[in-house]
A and B are shown apart, each in its own frame.
Chain A
Amino acid sequence: MPDIKQLAQMLNELDDLLTRCMRCGMCQAQCPVFAKTGKEADVTRGKLALISGLSREILKDPAQVQEKLNRCLLCGTCEANCPSGVKVTDIFLRARAILNGYLGLSRTQKLVFRCLLTHPGLMNKLISMGALFQGLFSKQADQVIGTSCARFNTPLIKDRHFKKLSARPLHRQVPSMDTPAGSSGLRVAFFPGCVVDKVFPEVGLAALKILKHHQVGIYMPSGQFCCGIPSLSAGESDSFSRLVRKNVKLFSAAKWDYLLTPCATCTATMRELWPVYHKESLGRVITNNVMDVSQFLVDILGVKPAENNREKTSVFYHDPCHLRNTLQVTAQPRAVLSAGGKYSVAEPPNGASCCGSGGSFNLKHYQLSQDIGRQKTRDIAFTGAPVAATSCPACMLQLADMLSKEKISIPVKHVLELYAESL
């Protein structure tokens, strides 16, 4: 382990980014974690001060700083609203990587990041075994939402109402695809992402159905790897790069016009983080051709909200942070949701906000994650909408868990599923 001086030196490379923060504290109005705890070390200004304190050797205990840095959803709301334009995500991800290099990972994290994520074959096998046995320890929680809960107390599951792993993951149902462009003249690469593949294969199928309907050719290679965000947000730069390298190789093997994902987080990671944190070539995967599926449908294919006078079912739309804050994609999913002519969009009463999932944040800080998520269920209940929809499978898991626990028994859908119904 290098000494604290070396750690300070490493963190010093963030100095130019850190001095941008003028400590105005306006992030207190944005941070979902701070809204629950009211503690300065939980808000961006506090976290930036901690990194800076460590780099200037005022602070002596990097483990404390690491723990505070992990109490962040990486939702990017503070960054999108920062008066002085601090590159918060960049600072946090780099600081996590530096601290992680200094303090090391736990054995479980090493196993997940270095062995499982980088070996999708092995991971798929383990997960399908899990899928076989999950019935033994779980029971149904909410039939409409499709959630389960543990039969007995387990440390990982706690009192979660979870969506079970699919018995028929997408890679089993559609191992790969390689179809030519149809009348649209376009061909896309499709990256379903881990959660869609393993928990929500129906979202992947909906996306494929929509693309076929619009005469778009599809390239979906088998053996896809994780987009890398769990590794990067845990500060595992090396396994992140390994995953990107493998995906780049896979997707550069054929020609296509756009790379699409139905996952807000995967899209944001590939568009915004791959170019910055992966120092090698990205092959065909260049920032501008990576897109959220609904963004492609609206911006490229010209899909529009349907105009008819039918009575519509109102659907609560939850903006995933990685589309809203990171990519400013908010209008397109709403357009796709109403494109089938059957649904209209219900907006949250107090504007968009994070659902509290935050990927691994939900695993590490489940109580906080729930406190944030409960607010979302109150927003949904307020609108009285009989369906909740979003554009991110991670948000879907969180919404399902929270709604199920609050006994608000309404289905949680991906906007692509709702549009696919009409085709």
Chain B
Amino acid sequence: MPSHSLQKEFEKLVGQDNVMTSESDLHAYSYDSAVLDQVSPGIVVRPTTSEALGQVVRLCNDNELKLTVRGAGTNLSGGTIPVAGGVVCLTTALNKILEINEHDLYAVVQPGVVTARFAAEVASKGLLYPPDPGSQAVSTLGGNVAENAGGLRALKYGVTKDYVMGVDFFDVEGNLVRSGSRTVKCVTGYNLAGLMVASEGTLGVFEKLILKLVPPPKAIKSMMAEFDDVGAASQTVSAIIAAKIVPATLEFMDNFTIRTVENFRGAGLNTDAAALLLIEVDGHPAQVEDDAAQVADICRAHNAKNVKLARDAEERAAVWQARRDALPALARVKPTTVLEDATVPRSRIPDMMKALKRIADEYKLTIGTFGHAGDGNLHPTILTDKRDVKEWERVEKAIDAIFDQALAMGGTLSGEHGIGLAKAKYMQHEHGAAAIEYSRKIKRVMDPRNILNPGKILGPLLK
């Protein structure tokens, strides 16, 4: 807990209104969207200028205060849960879009800009910022970069890291480090901006971001295909890619999710279908027509029972409403919703689906699975009640089993949710001891006092 005199120093930096120390305010920053134990910080500060942000970092380092930077607090792996008694630094007041450059196709933003607001501003200039994580209505771009957030369009457009051209950040001593550039090509020095991506606040504190923009597609076509068999649905996914078509979005819903969504919305989904694929192709109008027809043919060739092509904006909206409903509908089934994002090579989706079924049976749990089939990033969603201690033990075992399976299939622990506190213990399993030790060495040099979001990604540092 920072002393009274330190509190005064923070107040000098950011103003009295932007320092919070009351029990209730601290409690409100003790969690994020991960299902983990709450930990209250000792002080919360909200800098309103870049200079103040740098000074906050320096003050924390000088006094060995553990610092956790927080945007909207929506990450799903505990990356913004602070250290007990530490400092939470909010970026919500650093929310300016500094530049949208239509000639050079980039934008410069402060870290607290909300993703959807930015995307809308970019769209109003006739451009596209593709990364669209599920929390984009509230998530911040700083958080997106720190977690390397993904989204529905990742298959064709990639994830946040593919749009980061530069990151200006404060090192732990409060020096402003500039990295990357406003140019497409840049080979000067280490790729420090790349190092910042997915660093979850452990290596530096973002001051501003340079993000890449692209022209939007001229045409879009969406469709929904029903399958009797999960295997057939996932073979369809591989067949579409093998036909050299890369849809912008290729989403999957299992039967449990379909039934839950239908029960929730009543939009007329076929509740007997074993799986649904929701597919969107985009690009030049002529190519989109061809691609859509070919994708529909591939679906039918793989025994899709019903392939519905959206004929207008309204029908397209209905297709995506079903997908957007997946999480809300599942979340209403039971009090606690554990949303995982283990990811496998897309050809292994049928195996992963079988494994998930086996795990659900073995641990007597309800698991609904939906997600980004096109990139192998599934969201097995465990519906449970954390207050049921016995069941919760089984949930934890099931999560371990899901990760084991994903790794055994050549997959990864997390496609887009990050490691944070929740998955730090599995890291060695995926990357091996050498990778962890190499990362720890970097962390030790960059942050010798271990104040930058300690405990995240790498687990507690061995002294």
Contacts and interface: CB of A to CB of B under 8 A. Distances in A.
Interface in B11-30: 20, 22-25, 27-30
Interface string A313-345: 000000000000000000000000000000000
A327 B28 CA distance: 30
Nearest to B76: A24
A19 interface: yes
B74 A24 contact: yes
A40 to B, nearest CB: 4
A46 B28 contact: yes
Nearest to A29: B137
Which of B32, B72, B90, B93 gathers the greatest number of chain A CB atoms within 10 Å? B72
B336 interface: yes
A25 B25 contact: no
Contacts of A59: 23-24, 27
Contacts of A49: 27-28, 30-31, 38
Contacts of B25: 39-41
B297 interface: no
Given A84-B331, A84-B332, A25 B72 contact: yes
Give the interface size class of chain A. 20 to 34
A39 B45 CA distance: 11
A244 B387 CA distance: 37
Interface in A45-77: 46, 49-50, 53, 58-61, 64-65, 67-68
Interface string B45-87: 0100000000000000000000000001110000000000000
A350 B76 CA distance: 30
Contacts of A39: 20, 25, 28, 46
B453 interface: no
A22 B73 CA distance: 13
Interface in B218-256: none
Contacts of B450: none
A144 interface: no
A49 B331 CA distance: 18
B453 to A, nearest CB: 18
A61 B138 contact: no
A61 B46 contact: no
B31 to A, nearest CB: 6
A26 interface: yes
B24 A61 contact: yes
B436 to A, nearest CB: 29
Contacts of B386: 19
A204 B38 CA distance: 52
B414 interface: no
B90 to A, nearest CB: 7
Contacts of B137: 26, 29
Contact of A53 (B27, B90, B114): B27
B135 A24 contact: yes
A38 interface: yes
B215 interface: no
Contacts of A25: 32-33, 72-74, 135, 138
A84 B73 CA distance: 17
Given A25-B138, A28-B138, A53-B27, A83 B90 contact: no
A46 B70 CA distance: 14
A61 to B, nearest CB: 5
Nearest to B134: A24
Contact of A38 (B27, B33, B90, B328): B90
Interface string B443-460: 000000000000000000
Given A26-B137, A38-B46, A59-B23, A83 B28 contact: no
Contacts of A15: 387
Interface of A: 15-16, 19-20, 22-26, 28-29, 38-41, 46, 49-50, 53, 58-61, 64-65, 67-68, 83-85
30 contacts: A19-B385, A19-B387, A22-B336, A23-B31, A23-B33, A24-B33, A24-B135, A25-B32, A25-B74, A25-B138, A26-B135, A29-B116, A38-B90, A39-B25, A40-B28, A41-B24, A41-B25, A46-B28, A49-B31, A50-B27, A50-B28, A53-B27, A58-B38, A61-B22, A61-B24, A64-B22, A65-B24, A68-B24, A84-B331, A84-B332
- 9 interchain residue pairs of minimum CB distance: A83-B328, A19-B335, A84-B331, A46-B28, A40-B28, A38-B92, A64-B24, A41-B28, A28-B138
Given A25-B32, A50-B24, A50-B28, 12 more contacts: A19-B335, A25-B138, A29-B138, A39-B20, A40-B28, A40-B73, A41-B28, A49-B38, A59-B27, A61-B23, A65-B24, A83-B328
